[in-house]
């Protein structure tokens, strides 16, 4: 029979063993492999970030010299009250597009000051849940000022970014907006005769899942370093291989958008931002400023 002292000793040793495992696991995850560091050999320190911020305050970056000329088309920006969509609206206006030819669809009204002043305040806003097919059709079919018949381009920047969910049972929470919403937009584009649809996807569609609880003999997780490009062969095939439900549902939306491409009608394309998009006017920055 094991005595109380032996039980206590066994419990203490088990506790110390778990602590040692956690410490070693964290050490391995914090290490930057050489093959990853070669892509970014000079790591930025907080001081570097502060210095760059000071430079930007003195001379604000401008992309005016990169803006293409205005087209005179009509534009529907889905998610245009948010960060990415909001910047698309502002750049369209900056290059000379008529605010009366720009329509923003979003689940919430814009709160960014730069979307509520100047020419931006004249842009039409319609509150729409893109997972609601009828609501999307109605918003796309809303009459334009002066009965405008110019060609229509559509930007879809709306997404439900639930990157923290991986279990298959939770897919519907992401699919409602990311897949069904994308399909509703495609169908609405066809109904109103839109000729261009630019869909915002994500570079994360190519990111494979991993396990960050290592065996003691492992030095790093599988897929710890992944080089991502536009090669579709890199994209996981099964749900379990995607890093999260977000990446999985964005990939399914990509497939729908690319299949909808028609050389004689609606031309579609997908953009995969390779890095996280953030900055002034974004939700993360806005929350930190409050």
Per-residue confidence (pLDDT) for residue 80, from 0 to 100:
94
Q: pTM here?
A: 0.88
Closest CA to 80 of 68, 71, 70, 93: 93
Query: CA-to-CA distance for 24 and 22, rounded, in angstroms?
Result: 5
Digitized pLDDT (tens) for each residue of the chain, 290 residues in all: 788 888 899 999 999 999 999 999 999 999 988 888 888 888 889 999 999 888 888 887 788 889 999 999 999 999 999 999 999 999 999 999 999 999 999 999 999 899 999 999 999 999 999 999 999 999 999 999 988 899 999 999 999 999 999 999 999 999 999 999 999 999 999 999 999 999 999 999 999 999 999 999 999 999 999 988 888 888 999 999 999 999 999 999 999 999 999 877 999 999 999 877 777 776 654 443 43
CA angle 192, 198, 202 (to 5 degrees): 140
| Residue closest to 202 by CA, chosen among 272, 277, 252 | 272
Rounded Cα gap, residues 228 and 213, in angstroms: 23
pLDDT at 39: 86
DSSP E strands, 6-163: 74-78, 102-106, 124-127, 152-156
Surface-to-core class of residue 287, CB atoms within 10 Å of its CB (0-12 exposed, 13-18 middle, 19+ buried): exposed
Domains of the chain from N-terminus onward: 72-289 (3.40.50.720)
d(CA 131, CA 113): 27
pLDDT for the residue numbered 13: 94
Q: What is the pLDDT of residue 95?
A: 95
Over the Cα atoms of the chain, what is R_g?
24
């Amino acid at each position: 029979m094991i005595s109380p002292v032996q039980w206590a000793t066994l419990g203490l040793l088990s506790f110390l063993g778990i602590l040692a495992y956690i410490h070693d696991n964290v050490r391995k995850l914090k290490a930057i492999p050489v093959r990853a560091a070669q892509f970014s050999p000079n790591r930025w320190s907080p001081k570097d970030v502060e210095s760059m911020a000071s430079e930007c305050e003195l001379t604000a970056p401008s992309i005016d010299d990169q803006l293409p000329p205005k087209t005179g088309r009509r534009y529907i920006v889905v998610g245009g009250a948010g960060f990415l969509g909001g910047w698309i609206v502002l750049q369209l206006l900056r290059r000379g597009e008529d605010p009366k030819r720009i329509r923003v669809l979003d689940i919430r009204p814009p709160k960014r000051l730069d979307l509520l002043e100047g020419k931006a305040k004249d842009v039409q806003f319609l509150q729409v849940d893109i997972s609601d097919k009828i609501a999307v059709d109605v918003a796309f079919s809303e009459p334009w000022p002066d009965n405008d018949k110019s060609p229509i381009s559509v930007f879809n920047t709306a997404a439900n970014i639930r990157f923290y969910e991986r279990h298959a049972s939770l897919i519907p929470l992401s699919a409602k907006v990311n897949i069904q919403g994308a399909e509703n937009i495609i169908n609405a584009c066809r109904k109103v005769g839109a000729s261009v649809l630019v869909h915002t996807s994500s570079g994360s569609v190519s990111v494979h899942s991993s396990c960050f609880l290592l065996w003691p003999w492992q030095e790093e997780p599988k897929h710890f370093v992944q080089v991502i490009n536009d090669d579709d062969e890199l994209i996981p095939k099964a749900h379990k291989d995607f890093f999260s439900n977000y990446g999985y549902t964005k990939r399914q939306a990509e497939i729908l958008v690319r299949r909808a491409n028609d050389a004689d009608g609606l031309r579609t394309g997908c953009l995969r931002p390779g890095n996280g998009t953030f900055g002034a006017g974004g939700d993360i920055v806005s929350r930190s400023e409050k």
